[in-house]
Amino acid sequence: MVEATDGEAIAVLERARTRVDQRLDTLAGHIAGEVPGPLGAALAYALRSPGKRVRPALLLAAYEACGGRNAAADGLATAVEIVHTYSLVHDDLPCMDDDALRRGRPTTHVEFDVTTATRVGYLLVPVAAEQLARAAVAMELDPATVGSLARELFEAGGIRGMVGGQWLDLEAEGRQLDLSGLTAVHRGKTGALITAAVVIGGIAAGATDTTLAALRAFGSEIGLAFQVADDVLDATGSSRVLGKTAGKDAVVAKSTYVGLLGVERARAEAARHCAAAIELLTAAAVAPGALVPLARYIVTRSS
C-alpha cells in the first residue's frame, strides 16, 4: 500500500542521500589514496555502495525536529551509515548469511575476497568513530554531549545491540524461535542502530530528557517494524527490486515474522508498531517533522 506521505519520505531520503553520499564519496577517495592495493579499493567500494540511507535520514529528521540547524550534523549521519555499511559487509560473509548480492552489486567478499571483506568491516568501525568525532568538533558540541553520542552509537553497534542480535540470530540457525525470541533478535540486530540514529539526532540538537525518551521509544518501535517489513519483503519481493537475494529466509528455514505469522499478519504487525511509534511522539508532544513520513515509509517500502 502506498501512503499519502510516501512522496514526502522519498524526498527526505533523497536529501539525506545527497548530503551523506557526498561525504562518503570524499572519504572513499581519501581512503583509497591512503590504503594501498585491494584493501583501499574494497573500503572505497563498500563506502560508495548505494543504500537507501534510512538511518541518516532518521538522524537528520530527529535533529531538525528538535531544532538542530548545523549542517555539520551530516557527519553524524555519515558515521551511523558507516557502522551500518560495516554490518552489511560482515553479514554477507560466508560465515554469516553467505550472500553474493547487496545493494544491487556483488557483495564485497565476492568483488574482492573474504579476507579483504573481513578487514574492510573491522576497519570501517574506527572510520565511523573518526567521522563522529570530527562532526562533533565541527558542531562545537561539549565533551559530555560527545560522550553521549559515542556511547549511543557504539553501544547500539555492540553486544547489547547489533552484534548481540546477530549473535542470537546465528545461534538460532536450525531451530525455530518463538515470537518473543524473534523479537529480541530483530530489536538487537536491526532495531538498535535505527533507535540510535533517532536518539543521536535528538542528543546533538540538545533535546530534553523527556524528548529523548520519546525519541528512543519511537526508534525502538520503528526499528522493530523495519525488520518485520524486511521479513515480508524477503518473502514477497524480487532480488532485482530488493538489490539482494530474495526468498532466502525460507530456503534456509530462518525464523521470521512471516514464518511465524504469515505475510498478512506480519504486515499488520509492522503497521501496528509504526502506528505505536507515531502515537508515542504525539503523546510526548514532540513535533515530529519528517519522522512520521519516514516511519510510514519503513513499513510501506518496496525495497
Binding positions for ligand GRG, 190-219, rule CB under 6 A: 190
Which among 90-98, 111-119, 215-223, 248-256 is the span making contact with ligand GRG, rule CB under 6 A? 90-98
Contact call for residues 67 and 208 (beta carbons, < 8 A):
no
CA atoms within 13 A on the CB side of 51: 25
Could you tell me the smallest distance in angstroms from the CB atom of residue 38 to ligand GRG? 21
Give the whole-angstrom CA distance, residue 81 versus residue 51: 9
Of positions 10, 35, 138, 163, contacts ligand GRG by CB under 6 A: 163
The answer to whether 124 touches 46, Cβ cutoff 8 Å, is: yes
User: Any contact of residue 230 with ligand GRG (CB under 6 A)?
Assistant: yes
Q: Considering the rule CB under 6 A, would residue 90 count as an interface residue with ligand GRG?
A: yes
Q: Which of 23, 103, 109, 187 binds ligand GRG (CB under 6 A)?
A: 103
State how far the Cα of 247 lies from the Cα of 231, in Å rounded to an integer. Answer: 9
Residue placing its CB nearer to ligand GRG in the complex, 74 or 146: 74
Binding-site size, ligand GRG (CB under 6 A): 19
Q: Tell me the backbone φ, ψ of residue 283, rounded to 5 degrees.
A: -60, -30
Stretch that binds ligand GRG, among 35-43, 145-153, 162-170, 276-284 (CB under 6 A): 162-170
Residues facing residue 102 across a β-bridge: 105
Q: How far is the CB of 137 from ligand GRG (least distance, A)?
A: 27
Query: How far apart (Å, rounded) are the C-alpha atoms in residues 264 and 20?
Result: 35
Contact 28, 44 (CB under 8 A): yes
List binders of ligand GRG among 52-81 (CB under 6 A): 52, 54
- Residue 33 or 94: which CB sits closer to ligand GRG? 94
Is 88 one of the binding residues for ligand GRG (CB under 6 A)?
A: yes
| Residue 91 is a binding residue for ligand GRG (CB under 6 A) | yes
Residues 17-56 that bind ligand GRG (CB under 6 A): 51-52, 54
Contact footprint for ligand GRG (CB under 6 A): 51-52, 54, 84, 87-88, 90-91, 96, 103, 162-163, 166-167, 170, 189-190, 227, 230
